[in-house]
Amino acid sequence: MIPDAQSAAQPPLHRPHWASHLYLQVLVAIALGILVGALAPTTGEALKPLGDAFIKLVKMVIAPVIFLTLATGIAGIAELGRLGRVAAKAFAYFFTFSTLALIVGLVVGELVQPGAGMGVDPASLDAGAVNTYVAQAHDASITGFLLAIIPDTMVGAFTGTSVLPVLLLAILFGVALSLVGEPAQPVVELLERLSLIVFRLVAIVMRAAPIGAFGAIAFTVGKYGLASLANLASLVATFYITAALFVFVVLGLVARAAGFSLWKLLRYLRTELLLVLGTSSSEAALPALIGKLEHAGCAKSVVGLVVPTGYSFNLDGTNIYMTLAVLFIAQATGIELSWGQELTLLGVAMLSSKGAAGVTGAGFITLAATLSILPTVPVAGIALILGVDRFMSECRSITNFIGNAVATIVVARWEGALDRERLRAVLG
């Protein structure tokens, strides 16, 4: 059978009752949350702490999961040069498909023209409504981002909000364990035992997923209202359809070339996909994704490296959103962009997406960063989509999540670190 998130590390010995499946519980919770938010908006807004609390619980275990998975995985690599090969292949994949996602968003924006005819006067836009995002985008420079990867202390890597310092520490620690060799074996065994405990903790935390999804979706619908979608329905629909085409056509072909079915992978990850949908956060499913990909036959060292870095560098949904949103704002304000300016947009968006990686609300912040560097389109224009950004964040997060799941399996296959029979059995 296909294990749920709580059983990724250890599949059950018997088939549980249908009502005990976590994905069904999350699905029901999302439906109830939408109902509460639509019928009692004030109550829906008040339920926000439920979603926030669940996401904080998940973030609490992300750092230990990444550290233990990657450190023990690297410690078991006999040839350290393989680690560099995995990283090189992963970043080659990230760069290729991130760029492709930006191009897809640009092409669709030009073909569909979702903002055409709105006739918005740039001078009438409320710049104050987006000052917070502009300020965060200003601080998210490439240099600052790279320096932030290095923690102030080893303990400090576990207390920050970004996973990249933990990733760096785990790589260095794993390499050190590998170089020490046999004398470090007791430490490796201890870390492996700790991994069992931490993944059991993840299973406990995931039982609260329905409550978190219920509170998060009730807040979104209660605060912003489904009616707000009508005003910018063209942009929202265009984005969702474009993201779906990217997933099922582009990533579907990638999956087929790598020898597995995207549909079966999505079915296997259905609990996590619903969780991302309900919480608008792909981080909420990161620990479960690591466990499930390992369970499906991907080597621990590959999963531990590709998944966390992909969460910062392989943001297909965010990249589609960026170029599409910039074109929407330009069209809505009557600004014509030349091909040269659109190529500049691609380059700027590629850089700014890395500068804002790992920042909460990175999609909107990255958009502000891109417009700050691209003076042709007014930064205040993001106020036009502020009201529906929350509804688009679900799609961004799901697309990013699927992209990273596919990337991990592909890189594992390239590296010869994928048990294909295991993957076929688990997905089947």
pLDDT tens digit at each of 428 positions of the chain: 334 444 444 444 455 565 667 778 888 888 898 899 888 888 988 998 998 888 888 888 888 888 888 888 888 776 777 788 888 999 999 999 989 999 999 899 889 888 777 767 666 665 555 555 555 555 555 566 667 788 888 888 888 777 778 888 988 998 898 888 888 889 989 998 998 898 889 888 888 888 988 988 888 788 877 776 666 788 888 999 999 999 999 999 999 999 999 999 999 999 999 888 888 778 888 888 999 999 999 998 899 889 888 887 888 988 898 889 888 888 888 888 788 888 888 877 776 665 444 444 566 667 776 777 677 777 777 777 776 777 788 888 899 999 999 999 999 999 999 999 999 999 98
Distance CA 274, CA 29 (A): 10
CATH number of the domain to which 338 belongs: 1.10.3860.10
pLDDT value of position 131: 56
CA quadruple 64, 5, 247, 86: dihedral positive or negative?
Answer: positive
- Quote the number of domains for the chain: 1
Using alpha carbons only, what angle is made at residue 386 by residues 335 and 39, rounded to the nearest 5 degrees?
Answer: 140
Residues 6 or more apart from 63 whose CB is under 8 A from it? 157, 158, 163, 166
Instruction: Give CA separation, 51 vs 211, 279, 394, in Å.
Output: 7, 7, 14
Distance CA 67, CA 308 (A): 10
Question: 193 lies in which domain range?
Answer: 5-427
Backbone dihedral angles phi then psi of residue 298, each to the nearest 5 degrees: -80, 140
pLDDT value of position 1: 35
pLDDT value of position 427: 92
Backbone dihedral angles phi then psi of residue 418, each to the nearest 5 degrees: -120, 125
Whether the CB-CB separation of 157 and 168 falls below 8 Å is answered with yes
CA atoms within 13 A on the CB side of 332: 25
DSSP helix/strand/coil, 298: strand
Greatest distance between any 2 Cα atoms in the chain: 70
Instruction: Give CA separation, 251 vs 49, 261, 394, 401, in Å.
Output: 35, 10, 18, 12
Instruction: Give CA separation, 383 vs 129, 132, 330, 392, in Å.
Output: 6, 12, 13, 14
Distance CA 268, CA 273 (A): 10
DSSP helix/strand/coil, 418: strand
Look up the pTM and report it: 0.81
The pair of structure tokens assigned to 103 is 């191009």
DSSP helix/strand/coil, 150: coil
Q: Provide the H-helix boundaries in 76-126.
A: 81-112
